[in-house]
Amino acid sequence: MILESLERLGDWATYWLGDIGRMGRFLGAAVRGVFRPPFRFRALLGQLREIGANSIGVIFFTALFTGMVLGLQGYYTLRKFGSEGMLGSAVALSLLRELGPVLTALMVTGRAGSAMCAEVGIMRNSEQLDALECMAVDPFRYLIAPKLLATVIAMPALTMIFNVVGIFGGYIAGVELLGVSSGAFMSGMEGSVVDRDIVMGLVKAVVFGVVVVWVCTGRGYFVHRIRGAGFGAEGVSRITTQAVVISSISVLVWDYILTAVLL
């Protein structure tokens, strides 16, 4: 009984150490792929459209209502202390430093990350990745690198769109609906936001972009090696769910780490 438990524990530990090792090597190969010629500019543009431009709608509505909720909640909280004038500052700092990059990353995970995972997983199952390797075409350079580079470029841009639309949402809720002074809202924001807040949000956006692509394409790439994933369409479906969950949690964990380091 004890031996069996120890055996299972050892088996589990060996599997997870191997999995972490594979994912680490995957990230290294993906980053190397970005710098290895020939560069695929058309593929990069396609991915920028898919990951960036096609996410703008989702980002817009998420940001607008997040900002409006922040405006509402912030107003009623600040009013208790007679500090409604600080609403602009509270909304802007919350968005720029935390909610902008985090929610953008979660939206990109759900919209583009899941698609990346399914695409790569299907390519693995249908031997398309093997075919690339057999043609001596590096799958990391050909397939993963354009996604990684596009996400690293798109994430800060989407985050900035999120921030602007979110602040606008907060302005609508606070100023237009609840009657906070427009001047107080804007001057509060201008007085409290510094370059460092914006840089922190952008650094987070880049790191989250890497995390999302790493986890989502990595799980798809290793769909055949992941224990319990199963095979075929069911395997891809399970691994896509797993990728979205791991990616989302990883974003939140990295958010804490980066906040602790950058504050």
Partner 1 sequence: MKNGAVIRLDEVSKGFGSQLVLNRISMDVPRGRTTVIVGGSGQGKSVTLKLILGLMTPDSGRVLVDGEDITRMKKRDLDRVRSRFGVLFQGAALLDSLSVFDNVALPLQERTSLGRDEIRDRVMATLEQLGLTGHENKFPAQLSGGMKKRVGLARALQLEPEIMLFDEPTTGLDPEKTMEIYRLFSETRERFGYTAVIVSHDIPKVFNLADQVVVLNHGRVWSFASPEELQLSDDPEIVGFVRSTMGTIYRSGGVE
User: Which one of the spans 68-76, 135-143, 192-200, 251-259 is the region binding partner 1 (CB under 8 A)?
Assistant: 135-143
Helix 195-221 vs helix 232-262: crossing angle, to nearest 10:
160
**130 binding partner 1? (CB under 8 A):** yes
CA 232 – CA 215 distance, rounded (Å): 20
* Only segment of 14-22, 115-123, 180-188, 255-263 that touches partner 1 (CB under 8 A): 115-123
The amino acid present at 217, given as its one-letter code, is T
Q: Binding of partner 1 at residue 234 (CB under 8 A)?
A: no
Residue 142, Cβ density class (10 Å: 0-12 exposed, 13-18 middle, ≥19 buried): middle
Q: How far is Cα of residue 85 from the mean position of the Cα atoms in its chain? A: 33
DSSP 8-state assignment for residue 215: H
Binding of partner 1 at residue 131 (CB under 8 A)?
yes
Residue 3 engages partner 1 in binding (rule: CB under 8 A): no
Separation between Cα atoms, residue 111 and residue 42, nearest integer Å: 21
For partner 1, which stretch binds (CB under 8 A), given 94-102, 136-144, 212-220, 241-249?
136-144
Interface characters, 28-67, with partner 1 (x: CB under 8 A): ----------x-----------------------------
What is d(CA 178, CA 223) in angstroms, rounded to the nearest whole number? 51
- Tokens matching residue 206: 């880049």
204-223 binders of partner 1 (CB under 8 A): none
Taking the complex as a whole, the smallest distance from the CB of residue 110 to partner 1 amounts, in Å, to 21
Task: Identify the CA nearest to 175 among candidates 94, 62, 68.
Answer: 68
Q: Which range binds partner 1 by CB under 8 A, 19-27, 98-106, 126-134, 200-208?
A: 126-134
Binder among 54, 73, 83, 128 for partner 1 (CB under 8 A) = 128
Residue 103 tokens, joined: 């929610």
State the residues that interact with partner 1 by CB under 8 A: 38, 119, 122-123, 126-128, 130-138, 142
